[in-house]
Amino acid sequence: MAGLSLAEVLELPVLEAAPLLLGAHLTMGGVTLRLTEVEAYSGADDPGSHAHRGRTPRTATMFGPAGRLYVYFTYGMHHCANLVCGPEGEAAAVLLRAGEVVDGLEVARARRPGVRDRDLARGPARLCRTLDLDRSHDGLDVRDAVRLGRGVPHVTGPRVGLRLAGDRPWRFWVEGDPTVSRYVPARPVSRRR
């Protein structure tokens, strides 16, 4: 799939698009990241996806058009960003899990003081803080902010922290890259009586 444009990559099914985004550069808020880890989410057929039960005000952005950011707030304290892909009307997005700051390092350090450089965007919430992304960016067209890389060797495995469909190997990362986040399986739900 070498030689595809960003528009062509974003039109692909999410499981094909996600690994092609590894190595891409994303520039937001005065910082440029090289993406080193992503996860794929596909609407109705994916119980791990926010859009599994259909379109809601929260998930509307996931239904397209491709090239928009789907940004959500989680655990009452973190933002996470996804790049919408696939045909309009079918919910699909790639969670931006981790990246390496390749430009704007001083800006990134100012946003996350005291953090080691490799950890500035190591995990989806850290990535959002480093790029200064929040819910106000939901629906933002970022096609001009993304520059594809040349493709990088990668590995795949289960998604992080999901109880539903967490075993699907829809997480893609650059093997051995120090900016890739640590894998954490979902915790079992404890029921109190």
Residue 46: per-residue pLDDT: 84
Note the pLDDT tens digit of each residue in 64-84. 899 999 999 986 779 999 999
Q: What is the pTM of this model?
A: 0.92
* Distance separating alpha carbons of residues 183 and 21, to the nearest angstrom: 19
Q: How sure is the predictor about 8, in pLDDT bands with cuts at 50, 70 and 90? A: very high
Q: What angle do CA 110, 115, 70 make, to 5 degrees?
A: 75
| Predicted confidence (pLDDT) per residue in 147-174, tens digit | 998 878 899 998 887 778 878 899 999 9
> How high does pLDDT run on average in the chain?
90
Quick check: 184 pLDDT over 80? no
The pLDDT, as a whole number, for residue 192 is: 63
Q: What string of H, E and C letters represents the secondary structure of 6-75?
A: HHHHHHCCHHHHHHHCCCCEEEECCEEEEEEEEEEEECCCCCCCCCCCCCCCCCHHHHCCCCEEEEEEEC
For 96-109, what is the mean pLDDT? Answer: 98
CATH fit for domain 6-173, picks 3.90.75.20, 3.20.20.140, 3.10.300.10, 1.20.120.80: 3.10.300.10
- Domain assignments of the chain as residue spans, ordered by start: 6-173
Whether 88 shows a pLDDT value over 80: the answer reads yes
- Inform me whether the pLDDT recorded for 50 exceeds 90: no
